[in-house]
Structure 1
Amino acid sequence: MKAATIYSIAAELGISGSTVSRAFSRPDLVKDDVRERILATAAARGYAPNRAARGLATGRTGLIGLVVVDITNPFFPPLVGSIERAAAGIEASVLLVDAAAHAPAEPGLVQRLSSQVDGLIVASSRLPTADLKVAIGATTPAVLVNRAAAGLASVVCDNSEALRGAADHLVELGHRRLVVLRGPAASWAAQRRTAAIRTWARSAPSDVKVIELGPFDAVFESGRDAVPDILESGATGILAFDDLMACGVIAGLAERGVRVPADCSIVGCDDVLLARMLTPPLTTVTAPFEELGRHAVELLSEVIAGAPRPANVKLSGSLTIRGTTAPVR
Structure 2
Amino acid sequence: VITPPISVSSAIEGLKAVYPALTQNYVVAIVIGIIAGLFLLQSFGTQIVGKAFGPIMFLWFTMLGVLGAVWVAHDPTILKAINPYYAYELLTQYPSGFWLLGSVFLCTTGAEALYSDLGHCGKGNIRLSWTFVKTTLLLNYLGQGAWLLAHQGQQIGDNNPFYALMPAWFLLFGIGLATVAAVIASQALITGSFTLVAEAIRLNMWPKVKLNYPTDVKGQLFVPSMNRLLLLGCIGVVLYFRESSEMEAAYGLAITLTMLMTTILLTVWLRKIKRVALPLVVLFVLVYGFIEGSFLIANLVKFPEGGFVSLTIAAALMGVMYVWLKSYYIKRRLTDFVKMEPYIEPLKQLS
- TM-score, normalized by length of structure 1? 0.23
Looking at secondary structure, tell me which structure has more strand per residue.
1
TM-score, normalization: structure 2?
A: 0.22
Name the one with the larger helix percent: 2
